[in-house]
Structure 1
């Protein structure tokens, strides 16, 4: 769509985001408190997501991971403190402007109509309609389908897919949006082992290309293997934030998860391997009849 047509249609010219410099802040929180239902769910949160890195949010159920995720995406307002996206207060952006700067993958993807998979992925290109970057639509959709392994069923209706297939299509939609910041809430929850690894490899590729990735994970092993930084949440606060090898220690994790944990380095990669401490199983003996 050329500039004249955009003007005739009354499409307001938007300032498009530029590629961020390595290490630039893409989203951040300072002194953040979020209240839901009259209760403080997050308190005193200071955190930064940067270009070129994967930041994993981990912690037990109810620790505040998804609430922090919602605040960093600009979808949940701060009761106190501040949240910034691309250098501005999150509330200062319009929804259309936010959609050019961050893409959000929620925990569940629900569609009421049987759209073909390719069209669901193409929905990720909606924020760029009327800009010069809408010419990238076809390439962005094709690239996202290929990256998530969903191209073979691009013509199938979304409603006919399995839960794991839907999860990968939802990720493809987010990738097709081509924003500098990706926020993914439990993207591996419905996936088998192979596709869990695929999703985290895609995250690593996006970070290597200069994007920032914030991902909520329950699997501490995946966080240890793929994240550049890990923030451990506990009772609405950040208990630790840093390199996985420094943060994911057995004492901290045992306290936060209220479950004895043992941590040891992987024999090849050196990445932390995290396992619950279990009582050894006693072999059963059977008497011959």
Structure 2
């Protein structure tokens, strides 16, 4: 049914610019000096970010820091009041909406659907941008591969609305994976997931980066960011306060100031990956 709707939608025959592959380490997208206000409150205040192929970039920071807004600007879904946003070699506004959907896939915080589509059809929606292109022939393989990767194949025929919150989150991730773009933008993809599936999502992020994609993921769990991200960008007060490898960015003084909570940072005894825990007083000490 979804396939028939997409074909009737008139995408076939349109001329669209297909994104060119970007070599590892190459610039995929960039935000420079972005400023945006919601109402009278500045949410981004000169934020800048570079996204490179083959990397997982984690955006972390306290609530209200501007992480999701920065991701929306990077996706082209929010237009900043000032600053520049580029995807590939063009300003984001120079891409048409169908072309932009070939460049980047976006996973929002909430996966909302009003109709009881089967899970397989929801995932198949991720293939909509490729209708009428040479890569349309990949649709069935892309959907099957994405569902298997997100571990949702077993409920392919179930209505999306009958799923739990965590199951819906994994189906939404499968839709993004099926889109097969070179830039993945994921907003808190682990928020509704149990421990196993949190690790699954971040492993999938690493696999996509290893295959050449650029992955930007908003996370609240600093441990996940440290373990899986190549770079961590700390967003604070509408700006990127620090950007670099986890071992350099996850600093006790900086994190304590940004989160207004003293923390301790020490290396994992086996892997050496930074562990971040709140500094607590010992009862009776």
Shorter-chain TM-score range: over 0.9
Distance across 2 between alignment mates of 1:281 and 1:268? 29
Distance across 2 between alignment mates of 1:174 and 1:31? 28
1:162 aligned onto 2:171: no
1:71 paired residue number: 73
1:286 paired residue number: none
Partner of 2:114, secondary structure, is: coil
1:268 paired residue number: 270
Partner of 1:100, secondary structure, is: helix
Partner of 2:207, secondary structure, is: helix
Q: Are 2:11 and 2:131, in contact at CA under 8 Å, matched by a contact in 1?
A: no
Distance across 1 between alignment mates of 2:15 and 2:46? 38
Which structure has the larger Rg? 1
2:239 paired residue number: 237
- Counterparts of residues 111-130 of structure 1 (less than 5 Å): 111-130=113-132
Superposed CA offset, 1:135-182 (max 9, x none): 000000000001101111111110110000000000000000000000
Partner of 1:167, secondary structure, is: helix
Distance 1:282 1:206, change over 3 A: same
Superposed CA offset, 1:213-233 (max 9, x none): 000000000000000000001
1:15 aligned onto 2:22: no
Q: TM-score, normalised by structure 1?
A: 0.93
User: After TM superposition, what 4+ stretches of structure 1 lie above 6 angstroms from structure 2?
Assistant: none
Q: TM-score, normalised by structure 2?
A: 0.94
Distance across 2 between alignment mates of 1:75 and 1:13? 22
- Counterparts of residues 236-255 of structure 1 (less than 5 Å): 236-255=238-257
Deviation at 1:40, TM superposition (A): 1.9
Segments of structure 1 that go 5 or more residues without pairing to the other structure are: 284-289
Distance across 2 between alignment mates of 1:278 and 1:209? 41
Deviation at 1:84, TM superposition (A): 0.5
Partner of 1:202, secondary structure, is: helix
Segments of structure 2 that go 5 or more residues without pairing to the other structure are: 1-6
